[in-house]
Amino acid sequence: MTLYEVVEGQQYSFPDEELRILKLWDDIDAFGEQLRRTEGKPEFVFYDGPPFATGLPHYGHLLAGTIKDIVTRFASTTGKHVVRRFGWDCHGLPVEHEIDKKLKIGGREDVLKMGIGNYNEECRSIVLRYSAEWEKTVKRIGRWIDFENDYKTMDPNFMESIWWVFKSLDDKKLIYKGFKVMPYSTACNTPLSNFELGIVKSYSAQIAFPVVGCELGASLVAWTTTPWTLPSNTALCVNPELQYVYLKDPEGNVYIVAEARMESLPHATKKSKGITKVLNDEWCILKSVSGRSLSGLKYKPIFDWFEGSLGPKAFTVCCDSYVTDDSGTGVVHQAPAYGEDDYRVCIENNVLQKDDALPDPVDANGCFMEPAAQPYIGMYIKDADKLLIQQAKECGRLIDNARIVHSYPFCWRSRTPLIYRAVASFFVKVEEIKERLVANNLQTEWVPTYVKEKRFHNWLESAHDWSISRNRYWGTPIPVWSSPSGDETIVVGSIAELEKLTGKVVTDLHRHFIDHLEIPSSRGPEFPPLRRVEDVFDCWFESGSMPYAQQHYPFENKERFESAFPADFVAEGLDQTRGWFYTLMVLSTALFDKPAFKNLICNGLVLASDGKKMSKSLKNYPDPNTILDKYGADALRLYLIDSPVVRAEPLRFKEEGVFGVLKDVFLPWYNAYRFLVQNVRLLEETASIPFTPSEGEPTSKNVLDIWILSSTNSLVQFVTEEMHSYRLYTVVPRLISFISQLTNVYVRYNRGRLKGKDGGDESRCALDVLFNVLLTICKTMAPFTPFFVENMYQNLRRCLPESEESIHLCEFPRFNQSSSPRIESSVSKMQAVIETVRAVRERTGKPLKMPLSAITIVDSDTEFLEDSQNALLSYLRDELNVRRVEVSSDPAKFATLKAEPNFAALGKRVGKSMKEISQEIKSWDPFKIATFQSGKSTVIAGHELTSSDIIVKYHFNHQEDANVAYATVDDGGMVILDLSVDSSILFSASARLLVNRVQKLRKSAGLRTNDQVQVLYTITGDGDEEFIHQMLDSQGDYISKSLGCIPTIEKDDGHVVFGRDNFEISSALCMNISVVRPKIKMDSVSVQGSSKVDEIEAILSAREYCTVAGELFRGEMKDISLNGATVCLSWSDRQC
């Protein structure tokens, strides 16, 4: 046999077979061989974003990895050389936090106490903690990527290229040092780019700030939820467009607040008529002014910690539109060291200059330090809130205070509240290159496009300068050496340059290897040497430098990099629009004025089934390895790809969804493959000739052969075009549809032909077509489902001399222009007719086994009607079980056509034109409707309407006739069924029922297709037995062709019985059937012992009767072994 026999679908273990395929790939080094074979072909450049290896891979990683694997596999099989290097993000807070937990490090002092060198080496030791698990899982999901030649952001070569990037930006005057207000973790001593929201209970306070020189003695009243920032107050801010009032209380105090916020002052207002709040009788408005008129007023600060160190514009009123009247008092206190808007307002109003020191009395751990007054020094800022409010009360400045519950940013690592604070940082001047960023974004293609055109475009347009430094330890050091006064600075761009400047050999670029290195001052030995600044790069700068650093550019691979930049493809999650995608674009634009990539796929988030974020603590999702072990990688891959998540939308992960893919896609696909294998083996067994498929596309005159080959060609064309456009999510629905067409149409309609019931030549032709189609699908789907197609290919290739060792070494199929659109269209219409007729049968209680006298197909497509009377006629008859198929192109013979507007589809699109459009459509006569149906569109009231906008309904004639049934077909046609019944129809229905019962008995007995049996019957009941004899006589050809025999009346002759069943012909007549095989009888006189006779008969009965009888008759089978004894057999008159 050419092909190995395969098990039933229920017995096929997808996970186990995948493990076997993994071993095969390892044994033949399939990935390495693919790379070797494509060496020298055009490069397809792919950048892989580096994950942290301090945690295990989750569904988000598996999704992104699957997308990357599909695209790169496709590129490899379409003539490209695709280098795929895995990468690791090694630096940054995630690693440091793990060490802080392990060593119980509470802050900067603990790190310095143990030594930065020791701390960094501890970090290095855990960077690749889970790398083995990552490699195992990535490999298990079926992803081909190079782990041996991976890149690591902690490698000296990678770090040196980062230095080059920074120095290049500095040379372009795109680097400066300044302050940036950022979420800051006092627990981790570092600013954070990302954070989570939590609910906290905080102190709030209203504080009075007396206006200097005010005749009314008024005070501006500001509201704050961060009382600890009051000592750093530098200015107050109002909205220039709001109205403000001078409000006098019963004690004579005058307060300035927004008019819309008078109610915020205690006891100032009262309810009027239960809803509106009005001023209390004892309060009065002295005057009302615009916010703009308050600009420039001086006021007295509440604390004097920085009163002498700030410039002349400190403690003045500024104007800005960010102040609102929806909460507070309409007056906002400005602490530029702790608020982004505060800092911006103070800079824009010249209260501070960019290089000014900020009033910041808080250390890295969030505790007050000098110049704070006692008892605040050393106190944690949030612990000081209550004491500061008490001090404000004692000096008569407190208007009101309360405790409020609100959402607040939390550190995602330490789970502690963050603060906003200004951090000294090195910045990239992103705002200076903003126009180029927007222009370069237009040169890229994104899937989906709206992420590029909306989300990313908007982010670029509103981009601010990028803070790239962190005051941490485990990272790539900022290569800036500066004098103590800051007057002299050197930016180092390479290891060689540093060695030249310091006279020292440099083997590693981490802080503990270079922080001690000094560069002599160029001004002379009398000046102090330059020392490196303490900062390290933000890890986003490192990953954004990945295109250059992974190749150690420009120190190595200079020509190779420059000839292959930008990359052809990148892919990551939606969150990377403000992360990796952004940093790639910024650095590539700043360095080369190019985007870093040409094509990008952006996936959405994978959520738990309840729509919440996946959480280990909540255990609200199944472990990925459990899913892989249970269903296999291909099912998971296809489930993820065929979901909204590939269109950057969220996916609620459901295990039953993975099972659904297995059940609805893979099992039908496998069953079609198994059917091929079974019938190829049957053909070879009966014809004694090996099955040899055509070298090219098979040639056949059979309409369904032509159709499935054309549909396969269309599928290949569709997948090729969609993959070149990176639209992965469109491929799987098309595949599912094709698999359904293959199994439910081609295999089902051709079942007898494939089994050889139309002769050996027809069987070989049909099997050749099915083989070609399955092989083509395997090659087409290889990037998507690498394991399953490999499993099938390894068996199919046994029929192919000199075939490739792996399907992934085969070229991607090429489509041709010789498809048959007419046949594809006609078969599609035929399927719609068949489904409609089946639905009518179910509705009218006419089972499929009951033949119909006739059906009439009505359709405007004359080519389809012609095919229905010729090439498709036999299939229509067989599938519909109908005697006669008639056609018509004139629906008016059978029904009246009416047209109505599809209000749901038209909706808001046509607006006020709906009435005119509705009247026009409803006035159409049948000719106008037919014209619309043939043209598929029309214009009414200036709106183009298509078939989805207009509903065509049929009002059928003669609906009172019980022997006629009508139905419309989805594509616009109709069918009319003749339901009348005569004796010949009843004979045919009973014959189909008989065949069906026998085939079920054969299947339950485990008989193979070529196992020969007899069918015996008896009749019970009071009905007319002659009906059964007439049925067997009139339907003999059909029964014999289907079963290989004609049922005969059961007698007492001995048989081996495989199964029995019975079914009603009518209420008074029942047919009892038995599937049997003749039993070879023993001459008991010649054999000693009845038990021995039984045992010999059992052995012989297990074999085919004709085969055994022939062997004995020819004297070929003389001896058998029975319980250690030899029994000699001979043949005489059907007896042994």
Q: What is the DSSP letter of 1076?
A: E
**Is 89 known to be catalytic?**
yes
- The CA-based angle 616-618-622, given to 5 degrees, is 60
To 10 degrees, the CA torsion angle through 776, 780, 783, 784? -100
Let me know: does 195 contact 411? Beta carbons within 8 Å. yes
User: Given 23, 41, 613, 1000, which residue is catalytic?
Assistant: 613
| Token reading at 53 | 């290896």
Cβ count near 1068 (within 10 Å):
11
Q: How far apart are CA 1092 and CA 1023, in angstroms?
A: 45
Burial class (CB in 10 A: 0-12, 13-18, 19+), 46: buried
What does the alpha-carbon distance between residue 47 and residue 448 come to, in Å, rounded to a whole number? 19
Please say if 50 is a catalytic residue. Answer: yes
580 belongs to the catalytic site: yes
Catalytic residue among 144, 466, 580, 707: 580
How many helices (H) and strands (E) in the chain?
A: 40, 41
Residue with tokens 């999704």: 63
Structural tokens at position 763:
């069987």
**In whole angstroms, what is the distance from residue 957 CA to residue 977 CA?**
13
Amino acid letter for position 26: D
Q: Which tokens hold the place of 334?
A: 């400005």
3-state secondary structure of 550: coil
Q: What are 96's two structure tokens?
A: 């440091």
Sheet holding 852-858, edge to edge: 882-888, 852-858, 974-978, 964-968
β-bridge partners, 224: 205
Phi and psi of 491, rounded to 5°? -105, 120
Q: Which residues of 175-211 are buried (b: 16+ CB within 10 A; e: fewer)?
A: bebbbbbbbbbbbbbbbbeebeeeeeebbbbbbbbbb
Catalytic residue selected from 25, 50, 551, 624: 50
Q: What are phi and psi of 88, to 5 degrees?
A: -130, 130
In the beta sheet, which residues pair with residue 1073? 1017, 1061
Give bridge partners of residue 1075 from the DSSP assignment: 1015, 1059
Length of the chain: 1136
Query: What distance lies between CA 606 and its chain's CA centroid?
Result: 8
Burial, 522: exposed, middle or buried (Cβ in 10 Å; 0-12, 13-18, 19+)?
exposed
* HSE-up of residue 326 (Cα within 13 Å, Cβ side): 3
Angle in degrees, CA 303, 308, 309, rounded to 5: 105
**576: annotated active-site residue:** yes
Query: One of 102, 454, 616, 893 is an active-site residue; which one?
Result: 616
Q: Is 933 a catalytic residue?
A: no
Contacts of 704 (CB under 8 A, 6+ apart): 745, 746, 749, 750, 827, 875
**Residue 731, burial from CB neighbour count under 10 angstroms (0-12, 13-18, 19+):** buried
Say how far apart CA 830 and CA 821 lie, in whole Å: 14
CA gap 134, 597 in Å, rounded:
26
Answer whether 1's CB lies under 8 Å from 681's CB.
yes
Catalytic residue among 48, 89, 535, 949: 89
Q: How far apart are CA 244 and CA 1015, in angstroms?
A: 102
Residue with token string 């939390």? 410
- Cα Rg, the chain, nearest whole Å: 41
Which residue among the candidates 134, 446, 540, 1131 is catalytic per the annotation?
540
E strands, 860-969, in order: 882-888, 895-901, 937-940, 943-946, 950-956, 964-968
d(CA 919, CA 930): 18
Most distant CA atoms of the chain, gap in Å: 140
Taking a C-beta distance cutoff of 8 angstroms, is the pair 265, 247 a contact? yes
Instruction: Give the residue numbers marked as catalytic.
Output: 50, 89, 540, 576, 580, 613, 616
